[in-house]
Amino acid sequence: MTIKIAIDGPAGAGKSTIAKKVARLLGFTYIDTGAMYRAITLKVLRENIPLSDKQKIIEIARKSDVFLEGEKVFLDGEDVSEEIRKPAVSEKVSIVSQIPEVRKILVNKQREIAKDKNVVMDGRDIGTVVFPEAQLKFFLTASLEERAKRRYEELRNKGTDVKYEKVLEEIKVRDDMDSKRKDSPLIIPENAIVIDTTHLTEEEVVKKVFEEIKKIVRGEI
């Protein structure tokens, strides 16, 4: 038996930071599913494919080699880990991720990567669609302002010139699209443990996650 830990939630709630840390501490594989949607979006933008051309986008998703190695993301062999985080990709990714065929291709890939492994996986539909049987499901959230602040600081620290208001707007639009799409919308999975991280430090969130892991180990859940 393998263990799957699902971490879902909206943009900037701290999912990837917490998922990476928990995976490292447990010796599990970390799988960043958002990075896969971002990599496909990057290729669509690079090839100047109109976002209204669903067939071309599906073709790109089918033909591309998206590969995760630790915390790095490779697109057709090229390390795109930095580039996929740029605002140009963030602004368009939710348009690409709402195409059902694109989701099907990537969800299959995600299941294949995680097969036979203990994983911590973060995304929007992990506990609901990718691994509904996950032993532990977390839903991380935080206020919109706090999430925008974190994302703004993250981008600034990387040297990206952005305005707070623009980041806030981008996150708001993306939240809306991700929550309202027909296929696999962002919702709180049944039985998920909801953690509001607005006033919590990274350490406090990791501690809460481990408290839940211990309950499972002790057979309390």
Q: Which residues bind ligand CDP (CB under 6 A)?
A: 11-12, 16, 33-34, 37-38, 93-94, 97, 123-125, 174, 178
User: Which C-beta is closer to ligand CDP: that of 4 or that of 38?
Assistant: 38
Give whichever of 145 and 211 is closer to ligand CDP, judged by the CB atom. Answer: 145
Q: What is the spatial order of strands in the sheet that 78-79 belongs to?
A: 66-69, 72-75, 78-79
- What's the min distance (Å) between Cβ of 32 and ligand CDP? 7
Q: Which is nearer to ligand CDP, 2 or 179 (CB)?
A: 179
35 near 84, Cβ under 8 Å?
yes
Residue whose tokens read 């690079």: 46
**Smaller CB separation from ligand CDP, 43 or 178:** 178
CB of 98 to ligand CDP, least distance (A): 7
- Rounded to the nearest 10°, the torsion over CA 81, 107, 196, 15 is -20
Smallest separation, CB 102 to ligand CDP (Å): 9
| Shortest reach from residue 106's CB to ligand CDP, in Å | 8
Torsion angle of alpha carbons 67, 4, 202, 10, nearest 10°?
70
Work out how close the CB of 38 gets to ligand CDP at its nearest, in angstroms, rounded to a whole number: 5
CB 220, min distance to ligand CDP, A = 28
Radius of gyration of the chain (CA): 17
Q: Give start and end residues of each alpha helix (H) in the chain.
A: 15-26, 33-46, 54-63, 87-96, 100-114, 144-157, 164-180, 202-217
The smaller minimum CB distance to ligand CDP, of residues 28 and 97, is found at 97
Q: Which is nearer to ligand CDP, 119 or 125 (CB)?
A: 125
Closest-CB residue for ligand CDP?
Answer: 34
